[in-house]
Each structure stands twice: as C-alpha cells, then as structure tokens.
Amino acid sequence: MEALYALIVSYAGKVILALVVLLVGLWVIRRITNLITDRLQKATLEDSLRSFLIPLIRVTLQILLVITVASMLGAEMTSFIAIIGAAGLAIGLALQGSLANFAGGVLILILKPFIVGDYIEAAGFSGTVKEIQVFHTILNTPDNRKIIIPNANLSNSSTVNYSAYDTRRLDLKFGVGYEDNIDKVKEVLLKIATDHHLVMKVPAPMVVLGEHGDNSVVFFFRVWCAATDYWTLYFEFMEQVKLTFDKEGINIPYPQMDVHMIK
C-alpha cells in the first residue's frame, strides 16, 4: 500500500502538469489555426487550398503536442518516434495511390495550371473545370457529363488550357476545285472573314493557298476572335462559306472513284 501511495505521489505531479500542458496546448492550437484561417481568407488562395491547409496544420500541431505530453509522462521518445514512423510508413504504403493524388492536388492548387471555370483537355478528357479537390478534379463536358480525374494523372500529364488567354485563333480549311479561280476564292473568303462582327481586326484575317490535295485545292482560313466566340464563329463560317460558294459558283469537290468492269 505504501509503495502504491509513493508511486501515486511521484507521478501525480507529472500527470497534472501533463494535463495542464495538454489543455493549454489545445487552446493555443485552436488560436493559431483561427489566426491562420483569418490570414488565408484575406489572401488570394483557392477555397480548396484553404480547406486543405488548415486541417493539415491543425493535425500536425496536435501530433507535436501529443509527443510533448508523452515525453513529460516519461515515455521513451526514441521508441515513441520509431512507432510513429513505422505506422506512418505502413499507412503510406497502403495509401500510395491516394498520396500521389494528394501531392498532385497540392501542386495543382499552388501552381494553378488551370482554375475553376477553365475549359481544359487532359488525361484523355476535355471539359470545364467544376471543382479542384485534394484528391481529384471534376470536369463537366459540353454534353453535361461529369468526369472525375485523379490529380496524380493531371499533374503528371500534358494539359491544354483553352481558357488561359482571352483570344484564340480559329483555323479552318476549305477545298475548291482545281478549275476555280484562285484569286476569286481568296477574295470571297477574305470578305466573309472581314465582314463578320466577331472577327478581330488585329491580327488581320488571313487566307492562303495551303495544299494541293488529291481532289481539291485547299485554302487555309485563319481569323482571331475572343475565346468565348470560338465555337460560334466556327459553326457560322462552316455554313456561310458553303452558302457563299454556291452563290458565287465556286465548286466544292468531293472524292470520286472511277470503277472499270472487266469481263
């Protein structure tokens, strides 16, 4: 009984001090995370990055606090850290793919190769970025499909960001017959380009003879426009050029094949 009493007396001070440190430490961690939250809200950071950083900081500080309290209670730090390291290694191996996605998400959120609202093409998919989460990114396709891409794939592959700049160049090809007048075709195409109100004047529209095809002479038709007007111009030019060529008597050839029957 006396041995038990002596043991309680000898450890009571350490336990009480450890409890005080634990309570004060939790209060300090809460104040620190609140302060960091306020600072991050004032900074120009993505919401996804903010929601990821704050829990990470909180958990890291709590782990350090637990280690400190354990050392005050007499726990062997070398063994304690070794146990934590072994557990971390096992968890890391088990969640290898998730950690790769996690790292990819951090890179995307920090480097910002694209942001929410951009239209991108990556990892074999294309669509408008709806959400950038820690482990994956969500795209919405023009036909309203939801595409979920792991961030590891996005951070390790080439990405085409169609919304990165305010302007884009629209490149089209139109084939006409070899018997048609080249100068007349160029004049007609340039007039179609310059008369459209969505086409930028600078850089100026360009129409050049680009190819001698098997069945036609191919003209390259290039105009600059606002990125948001790209598809509007594309479809309007495809229709307008056909109608104008028909009106001007310009031939649009198509592949033909002569078949000779041998008896």
Domain ranges of the chain: 11-94, 113-161, 167-248
Provide the pLDDT confidence category of residue 204 given band limits of 50, 70 and 90. very high
Q: What is the pLDDT of residue 97?
A: 62
Q: Could you say which of 1.10.287.1260, 1.10.3720.10, 3.40.640.10, 1.10.10.10 is the CATH number of the domain covering 11-94?
A: 1.10.287.1260
Closest CA relative to residue 228, chosen from 202, 204, 198, 201 = 198
Query: Do 215 and 151 touch, CB atoms closer than 8 A?
Result: no
pLDDT at 131 > cutoff 90: no
Provide the pLDDT confidence category of residue 205 given band limits of 50, 70 and 90. very high
pTM as predicted: 0.63
Of 87 and 170, the structure prediction assigns the larger pLDDT to 170
Tokens representing residue 176 in the block: 């006409």
Q: Which fold does the domain 113-161 belong to in CATH?
A: SH3 type barrels. (2.30.30)
Query: Do 122 and 158 touch, CB atoms closer than 8 A?
Result: yes
On the CB side of 95, CA atoms within 13 Å amount to 12
Do the domains 11-94 and 113-161 sit in the same CATH topology, yes or no? no
Average pLDDT, the chain: 83
Q: Over range 11-32, report the average pLDDT.
A: 82
The SS3 call for residue 116 is coil
What CATH code would you report for 167-248? 3.30.70.100
Q: What would the DSSP string read from start to end of 193-204?
A: HHH-TTS-SSSP
Q: What is the pLDDT of residue 60?
A: 81
Q: How far is CA 82 from CA 67, 78, 85, 89, 142, in A?
A: 12, 6, 5, 10, 52
pLDDT at 58 > cutoff 60: yes
| pLDDT tens-digit map of 221-236 | 999 999 999 999 999 9
